[in-house]
Structure 1
Amino acid sequence: MTIDMHTHVWGGRYETHTRELIANCERYDIAKIIVSGIAAQYPGEAEIEQHNRDVVRFRQERPDLVEGYVYANPRNADASRVVRSGIEDNGMIGLKLWIATYCDDPLVYPLVELCIEYDVPILLHAFHKAVRQLPDETTGVQVANLASRYPEAKLIMAHLGGNAYHGLKAIRDFPNVWTDFSGSLFGREDIDYAVSQVGTDRILFGSDMPGCSFITNFAQVQEADLTPQQKEDIYRNNAIRLFRLKL
């Protein structure tokens, strides 16, 4: 069974997306999904509240299957309150930061310090692009900056940083940074390269469902030059340890 630690319920599509996620979990024997709600790049306080409410609802409907990230926009005045409430009141097991700020922006520091206090991981969207890089879109360089400032933080650089050969070089010397390869069509060589840079114990399985294919991401691990134990670590064991999951 697999732990998919990178999934979403996109704003305004709760019924469609939760139904699709549940169907894929049943089809592919996924033991647990960790979900965040996102939509606009710069969400206001009301939008953030709705996204987090969707995740709480999903957890309540499927407590056997769903865990959640609290989602926050560091630009919003209530961001710290949102994080505290999400973890203390709603049982979220991590923080999701998307593209509202670079992850090493000082606006992010209070949220990172809260996550250190609660000992929960932070999932950071990170994507280095040759063209159409978004304003405030984090790359591996910013993740490394944050990891250096907060070595006690548990950081996850999503998507292998978008470009494995850019992102992984930036974070490979920071043992407090994990990575996933969700939502990106990496080939066998890229997964093998990731293992060569950070080892299998810092690689997590994520699909970026819905909208991205679970089976494509699953197959990339199958094609990689890994032992059965290493595959098992990526598919589930690393996430169980990092998020302290009970199945």
Structure 2
Amino acid sequence: MIIDAHTHIWGGQYGESTRELLRACDLFGISKLHVSGLKSHYPDEAEVAELNADVARFMKEQPGMVEGYCYVNPAHSNALDVLKKGVEEYGMSGMKLWVATFCDDPRVFPVVEACIDYNIPILIHAFHKAVDQLEFETTGVHVANLARLYPNAKILMAHFGGNCYHGIRAVRDCRNVWHDFSGSPFRRDDVDYAVERVGVDRIVFGSDMPITYLVNYGQVEEADLTAEQKERIYYKNALELFDRSLKIG
């Protein structure tokens, strides 16, 4: 069983994105997708609404296989209303933060507090870059700040923070932070490093599809893991992370 906890529908490409995701499920035996909609770095309210509606549509078309993240731009005054609609009307099971603000910006705090009340995870794009860092692009340091401020929040730091030796090091003592290694610019031994630093129970499989899949699958298959550890990464940790009956702290 494989649960992919980090996939996307790209704005304006609903048909292409969803076909590619479903094709990957058939080819690679993926049992469940957790999906968010993305387009521009600093979306307006209308764009956010359209992206979340696309994800809700995909959830309705593929019940049981597709679950959604509610994409929120914390810079918008209606961010709490957007989250409420995503969770209560659309039935989404997580919240997505991208690059419109740092994740430890005070404007993020109200939606984080709502996620704690809903007991849903927060998927946070985090990427430490040598060049071309975006103006408000979160790194592991920002994730650590948020995690320590809200120890009861379930946080999923994406991409191993863009550089596992930076991102994981920043949050290794934060027990409320899980990690995915979605995306392609990573090394074979990154998973081994992450298991050594934070333990296998805090690592969740994600691919960043429709960008890539096999690179991330190969990272797990080639890592120095037992069969049970692979199962935890492929699906067991995600089942626990998204289980709203299980609280932390």
Q: What SS class does the counterpart of residue 3 from structure 1 fall into?
A: strand
Q: Which amino acid aligns with 2:220?
A: V
Distance of 1:44 and 1:140 partners within structure 2: 26
Task: Say whether residues 1:42 and 2:42 are aligned partners.
Answer: yes
Task: Say whether residues 1:221 and 2:220 are aligned partners.
Answer: yes
Q: Hey, what does 2:32 align to over in structure 1?
A: 32
What CA deviation, in whole Å up to 9, does each residue of 1:88-147 have, x standing for no partner?
111000000000000000010000000000000000000000111110000000000000
Task: Say whether residues 1:167 and 2:167 are aligned partners.
Answer: yes
Q: What SS class does the counterpart of residue 136 from structure 1 fall into?
A: coil
Task: Say whether residues 1:107 and 2:86 are aligned partners.
Answer: no
Give identity over the alignment, percent. 59
Distance of 1:187 and 1:30 partners within structure 2: 23
8 Å contact from structure 2 (residues 205, 235) kept in 1 = yes
Counterparts in 2 of 1:1-247, with a 5 A limit?
1-211=1-211, 213-244=212-243
Distance of 1:214 and 1:188 partners within structure 2: 14
What CA deviation, in whole Å up to 9, does each residue of 1:186-217 have, x standing for no partner?
22221111111111000000000012x21111
Q: Please tell me the root mean square deviation across aligned C-alpha atoms, in Å.
A: 0.9
Distance of 2:186 and 2:195 partners within structure 1: 13
Distance of 2:219 and 2:234 partners within structure 1: 11
Distance of 2:177 and 2:184 partners within structure 1: 19
1:185 Cα deviation after fit = 3.0
Distance of 1:64 and 1:106 partners within structure 2: 35
8 Å contact from structure 2 (residues 184, 215) kept in 1 = no
Distance of 1:23 and 1:242 partners within structure 2: 26
Distance of 1:44 and 1:76 partners within structure 2: 8
8 Å contact from structure 1 (residues 31, 65) kept in 2 = yes
Q: What SS class does the counterpart of residue 188 from structure 1 fall into?
A: coil
Distance of 1:240 and 1:64 partners within structure 2: 13
8 Å contact from structure 2 (residues 189, 219) kept in 1 = no
Q: What SS class does the counterpart of residue 138 from structure 2 fall into?
A: coil
1:77 Cα deviation after fit = 1.0
What CA deviation, in whole Å up to 9, does each residue of 1:157-186 have, x standing for no partner?
100000100000110000000010000332
Greater than 6 Å deviation, 4+ residue runs: none
Q: What SS class does the counterpart of residue 31 from structure 2 fall into?
A: strand
Distance of 2:103 and 2:131 partners within structure 1: 20
Distance of 1:231 and 1:188 partners within structure 2: 15
1:24 Cα deviation after fit = 0.4
Structure 2: gaps (5+ residues)? 245-249
Q: Which amino acid aligns with 1:57?
A: R
The number of equivalent residue pairs is 244
8 Å contact from structure 1 (residues 72, 95) kept in 2 = yes
